[in-house]
Amino acid sequence: MDAEHALETRRTCAPELLDSLPHDHPDAVHSRRDLRLVNRFMMNPRWFRRTLPGLLRPGDRVLEIGAGTGELCALLNRDNLRVDGLDLCPSPPGWPASQAWHRADLTAFQGYGPYEVVIGNLIFHQFTNEQLAALGATLRVSARVIAASEPLRRRLSQRLMAAVAPLLGANHVTLHDAHLSIASGFCGDELPRALGLSPGEWDVACGPSLAGAYRMVAVRRPTPGASAARTA
């Protein structure tokens, strides 16, 4: 099996450098700056702003897992979507008192219950399929919607990142982690399958974008009992 075929048929996960650095380490600060540029290039913020409003019901609570510096949350909150954050990092400066910030390991977090909508931006790819199965089992208890934008796993993306990122001033952490992130990204229906989102219970749409993103929207199908209760 050649390297191209191997990459696109099997995802591999390895520790990323950014996760090993203190939050305020200069290399970490620089790499988070790089990630903001990557997000803009991949048009992830625009996609969430366009996609989320059509998924929400009145009163839904939204949680971004792996919220990092909180920039996506802040952007969505400016659109009045009311998104809380969950991350190992402390809450960002100026985080609004009206929105919760949970500082915790998302794999061990016990507070998913109140959240009908869970979103993840460049976070699910950091976990093995076994870890995603465990996370999915937790999310499926209470979430009605799960939306994600992740790296699309393809060799071309790795080549483009290696060529373009240095021109944008990306540091060694970003270059190292970007290569690994793409290798641990997703193709086809890999993410919903890893999360255990059964086609009988969830309506799932997933696929690639031209900018190298893998997008997934999963909406739980209403149960017959729930439908009957609403029409009674």
Q: Give the integer Cα–Cα distance in Å for 162 and 221.
A: 41
What is the pLDDT, as a whole number, of residue 161? 87
Q: Give the integer Cα–Cα distance in Å for 94 and 10.
A: 41
CATH number for 112 = 3.40.50.150
**What residues contact residue 44 under an 8 Å CB cut-off, 6+ apart?**
72, 121, 122, 149, 213
**What residues contact residue 170 under an 8 Å CB cut-off, 6+ apart?**
31, 34, 37, 178
Q: What is the mean pLDDT of residues 111-137?
A: 97
- 82: region left, alpha or beta (phi > 0 left; psi from -120 to 50 alpha): left
The DSSP output letter for 55 is T
Q: What percent of the chain shows pLDDT beyond 90?
A: 73
For residues 122 and 39, is the Cβ–Cβ distance under 8 A? yes
What is the pLDDT, as a whole number, of residue 7? 57
Q: Give the integer Cα–Cα distance in Å for 116 and 29.
A: 32
pLDDT digits (tens, 9 = 90+) for 53-90: 999 999 999 999 999 989 999 999 999 999 999 999 89
Strand ranges (E), the chain: 62-65, 83-87, 101-103, 117-121, 145-151, 202-208, 213-220
Per the structure, how many domains does the chain have?
1
Q: What is the mean pLDDT of residues 18-25?
A: 87
What is the pLDDT, as a whole number, of residue 98? 92
**1 pLDDT more than 90:** no
**5 pLDDT more than 90:** no
Beta-bridge partner residues of 126: none
Look at 111 and 14; give whichever has higher pLDDT: 111
The DSSP output letter for 221 is P
**What residues contact residue 205 under an 8 Å CB cut-off, 6+ apart?**
216, 217, 218
What is the pLDDT, as a whole number, of residue 32? 87
The chain-wide mean pLDDT, for the chain, equals 90
Q: Give the integer Cα–Cα distance in Å for 42 and 27.
A: 22
Domain containing 20 equals 3-231
Q: What is the mean pLDDT of residues 185-191?
A: 97
What is the pLDDT, as a whole number, of residue 194? 97
**211 pLDDT more than 80:** yes
Look at 1 and 232; give whichever has higher pLDDT: 1
Q: Give the integer Cα–Cα distance in Å for 186 and 205.
A: 13
Q: Give the integer Cα–Cα distance in Å for 114 and 62.
A: 9
Q: Cα–chain-centroid distance for residue 91? A: 18
For residues 21 and 173, is the Cβ–Cβ distance under 8 A? yes
